[in-house]
């Protein structure tokens, strides 16, 4: 047997033992326990041992099952897609920025056009954050300027220049008549016009309806979609700043 075939390890090599817990929408009786064992067998546990069953209200039963899985894992056949940039903790991102810039990274954020939905930009920037992650305001080495909603593009450009922004984050939730696309292209064009070539801040746009891979068409550096967390954005900014620093200007 190849050394690259593995099975789960309980207390003996090759025993294949796993533990599993789940709930079935059945009242607790013999039939429910049989149903749990049937599920375990279909999941490849043989033999399966029902070690715990408990009624949760009149309609549900909770089970804990132990069993030996019949499946094998071929380690040679495992393929993983590496993220193009590493996901950093807030602490690591701070350290990286400090080393890279020897000053704080300046991020200017806004909702542009008529869009009044600051949910996205606030989830990324507000210290409250999103999905259990603190927003960029929480990062010691990041200065956040959140301009809020309905910011005009010229005002955004002026403020970005005044704050010497390293990155500009724009959120677009409203998508009627492709407003998000028009607003974004208008924004990126304004930045290219206002800054010397090669010195435009990192332009990041976020929203639920942007097409993946359309960065070039929109004139921005990065698009983030639904469910993006502040940590992902911070990690990306660190990655992109590192790339830019390394690039001969």
Q: Which of 21, 38, 114, 150 binds another protein (CB under 8 A)?
A: 21
User: Which pair of structure tokens corresponds to residue 139?
Assistant: 């990062």
Among positions 147-176, residues that touch another protein (CB under 8 A) are 148
* CA–centroid distance for 203 within its chain: 18
Among 245, 221, 246, residue whose Cα is nearest residue 105? 245
**Does position 191 bind another protein by CB under 8 A?**
no
Give the shortest CB-167-to-another protein separation in angstroms: 19
Active site residue 128: yes
**Does position 141 bind another protein by CB under 8 A?**
no
Q: How many residues bind another protein (CB under 8 A)?
A: 24
Give the shortest CB-207-to-another protein separation in angstroms: 14
Q: Which of 7, 41, 117, 159 binds another protein (CB under 8 A)?
A: 117
Give the shortest CB-249-to-another protein separation in angstroms: 33
Stretch that binds another protein, among 55-63, 164-172, 175-183, 209-217 (CB under 8 A): 55-63
**Does position 127 bind another protein by CB under 8 A?**
yes
**Does position 132 bind another protein by CB under 8 A?**
yes
The active-site residue, picked from 42, 54, 91, 128, is: 128
Give the shortest CB-230-to-another protein separation in angstroms: 12
Among 35, 58, 176, residue whose Cα is nearest residue 117? 176
**Does position 134 bind another protein by CB under 8 A?**
yes
Stretch that binds another protein, among 65-73, 77-85, 119-127, 157-165 (CB under 8 A): 119-127
Rg (CA), the chain: 26
* Segments in the chain forming alpha helices (H): 30-42, 90-101, 119-125, 153-162, 179-194, 215-218, 230-246
Query: Is 210 within 8 Å of 223 (Cβ atoms)?
Result: yes
What SS3 class is residue 173?
coil
Residues composing the chain: 249
**Does position 83 bind another protein by CB under 8 A?**
no
Place of tokens 């008549």: 177
How many CB atoms sit inside 10 A of residue 30's CB?
8
Query: Is 35 within 8 Å of 48 (Cβ atoms)?
Result: no
Q: What is the C-alpha to C-alpha distance for residues 19 and 9, in angstroms, rounded to an integer?
A: 11
Q: Which of 57, 198, 213, 248 binds another protein (CB under 8 A)?
A: 57
Give the shortest CB-114-to-another protein separation in angstroms: 13
Q: What is the C-alpha to C-alpha distance for residues 7 and 48, in angstroms, rounded to an integer?
A: 16
Catalytic residues: 128
Positions touching another protein (CB under 8 A) are 21-23, 54, 56-57, 60, 62, 117-119, 122-123, 126-128, 130, 132, 134, 137-138, 140, 146, 148
């Amino acid at each position: 047997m190849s050394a690259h075939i593995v099975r789960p390890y309980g207390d003996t090599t090759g025993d294949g033992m796993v533990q599993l817990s789940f709930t079935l929408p059945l009242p607790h009786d013999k039939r429910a326990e049989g149903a749990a064992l049937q599920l375990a067998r279909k999941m490849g546990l043989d033999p399966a041992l029902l070690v715990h069953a408990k009624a949760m209200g009149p309609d549900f039963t909770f089970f804990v099952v132990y069993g030996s899985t019949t499946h094998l894992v071929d380690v040679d056949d495992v393929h993983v897609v590496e993220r193009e940039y590493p996901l950093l903790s807030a602490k690591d991102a701070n350290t990286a920025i400090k080393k890279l810039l020897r000053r704080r990274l300046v991020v200017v954020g806004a909702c542009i056009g008529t869009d009044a939905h600051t949910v996205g930009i606030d989830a990324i920037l507000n210290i409250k954050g999103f999905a259990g992650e603190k927003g960029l305001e929480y990062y010691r080495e990041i200065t956040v300027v959140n301009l809020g909603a309905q910011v005009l593009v010229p005002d955004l450009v002026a403020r970005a220049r005044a704050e010497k922004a390293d990155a500009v984050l724009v959120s677009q939730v409203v998508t009627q008549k492709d407003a998000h696309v028009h607003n974004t292209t208008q924004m990126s064009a304004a930045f290219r016009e206002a800054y010397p070539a090669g010195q435009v801040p990192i332009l990041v746009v976020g929203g639920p309806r942007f097409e993946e891979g359309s960065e070039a068409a929109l004139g921005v550096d990065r698009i983030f979609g639904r469910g993006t967390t502040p940590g992902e954005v911070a990690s990306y900014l660190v990655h992109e700043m590192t790339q830019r620093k390394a690039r001969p200007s």
